[in-house]
């Protein structure tokens, strides 16, 4: 267990921990890395399942499935490499565009009322809002809504003929598994986003507490310094009053000394005359 936990910790530090300095960018990079790693794992499993199934079915039935899952796996690995080399914004944009392209393909090929397509569109919008911003999510929502309405109008007018076999196909475990995976990805992305937002909120609250503590300490320091200054000013005022009193006393003494000296001076002048 210690070896496994050490391996997981090393993998997390090397491949998941974001490299961005900015807190908001680091939050988005962290979510992108976990999302890409999860998708890479799922794509790898799907790729090997398709390869295994290709040995037990005809070439015409499964020749394209391994190629599709393999291409998706290569794309996800490339996006993960971009993210680890400091290009998380580019990787996020390419991922959103790829998901949007897949949703358009599903809309065009299977029709606008396929549940898996609608769930996939919801996943794309949520990921765009978390990895980019709310404006990107709004733009993507408007684009998907416009495409759904357009393809529906074309299908009603008979200008578009999607594959309706899936609509009347008996449900199987594969379809439900795909829906469950998409829902799990939505839940994972939402949980990661809320977790990072809660961490950012906790950091903001801690910073607010530190600032409030520093403000209180500063107020105490200012009050103490103000009291010291007032005390010094009072001491100087007392000294000024003391000097003033000393000056008044000195003037009185000088006046008392000058008066008899004037009398003596006048008497000396009289004697000289």
Task: Quote the CA–CA distance of 138 and 140 in Å, as a whole number.
Answer: 5
143: pLDDT strictly greater than 80: yes
Task: Quote the CA–CA distance of 122 and 144 in Å, as a whole number.
Answer: 10
41: pLDDT strictly greater than 60: yes
Average pLDDT, the chain: 79
88: pLDDT strictly greater than 60: yes
Q: What are phi and psi of 96, to 5 degrees?
A: -65, -45
211: pLDDT strictly greater than 60: yes
Token digits of residue 266: 């006048």
Token digits of residue 126: 């949520």
58: pLDDT strictly greater than 60: no
**Distance from chain centroid for Cα 180:** 28
Task: Quote the CA–CA distance of 39 and 69 in Å, as a whole number.
Answer: 11
pLDDT at 86: 83
Task: Quote the CA–CA distance of 161 and 145 in Å, as a whole number.
Answer: 19
């Amino acid at each position: 267990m210690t070896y496994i936990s050490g391996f997981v910790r090393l993998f997390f530090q090397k491949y998941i921990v974001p490299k961005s300095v900015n807190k908001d960018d680091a939050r988005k990079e962290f979510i992108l890395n976990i999302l890409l790693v999860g998708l890479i794992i799922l794509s790898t499993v799907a790729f090997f399942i398709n390869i295994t199934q290709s040995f037990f079915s005809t070439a015409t039935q499964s020749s394209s499935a391994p190629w599709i899952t393999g291409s998706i796996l290569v794309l996800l690995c490339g996006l993960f490499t971009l993210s680890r080399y400091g290009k998380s914004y580019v990787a996020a944009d390419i991922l959103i565009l790829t998901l949007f392209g897949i949703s358009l393909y599903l809309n065009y090929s299977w029709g606008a009322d396929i549940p898996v397509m609608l769930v996939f569109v919801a996943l794309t919008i949520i990921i765009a809002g978390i990895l980019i911003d709310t404006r990107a999510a709004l733009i993507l929502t408007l684009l998907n809504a416009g495409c759904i309405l357009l393809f529906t109008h074309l299908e009603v007018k008979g200008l578009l003929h999607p594959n309706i076999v899936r609509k009347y196909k008996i449900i199987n475990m594969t379809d439900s598994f795909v829906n469950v995976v998409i829902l799990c990805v939505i839940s994972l992305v939402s949980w990661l986003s809320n977790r990072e937002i809660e961490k950012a909120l906790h950091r903001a609250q801690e910073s607010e507490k530190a600032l409030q503590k520093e403000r209180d300490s500063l107020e105490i320091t200012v009050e103490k310094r103000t009291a010291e200054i007032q005390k010094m000013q009072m001491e100087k005022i007392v000294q000024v009053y003391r000097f003033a009193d000393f000056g008044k006393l000195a003037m009185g003494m000088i006046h008392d000394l000058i008066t008899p000296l004037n009398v003596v001076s006048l008497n000396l002048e009289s004697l000289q005359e």
